[in-house]
Amino acid sequence: MLEQEALADPDPVYDLKGLNCPLPVLKAKKRLAAMRPGSRLWLETTDPLAVIDIPAFCSDAGHQLIETAAVSGGHRFLVERGETAEILR
């Protein structure tokens, strides 16, 4: 039954394709700040610097980078919002 729930309620995807540094991180920060701790969000980017910026952002802000994948034209990152993540100011 747990497997069915996972398929029925996939993690949301935030399309950040076409945006360049620093916009993917700034938009991800704002979106994650509005989510509950423990929630997960896929970030999809085409910015080549995202492979450096997104992991650094997660580490600095207290989020967990769960998965990173190279996809055609860019990258996908699965981020879990941290319990004590920095609040957007």
- Comparing 61-65, 72-76, 85-89, the range with the smallest average pLDDT is 85-89
Predicted pLDDT at 73: 94
Query: What's the token pair of residue 25?
Result: 């991180």
Predicted pLDDT at 9: 59
Tally the residues of the chain.
Answer: 89
Instruction: Provide DSSP, 36-86.
Output: PTT-EEEEEE--TTHHHHHHHHHHHHT-EEEEEEEETTEEEEEEE--TTPP
- One-letter amino acid at 52 equals I
DSSP letter assigned to residue 14: E
The answer to whether residue 2 scores a pLDDT higher than 80 is: no
Which residues form the catalytic set? 21
Predicted pLDDT at 86: 53
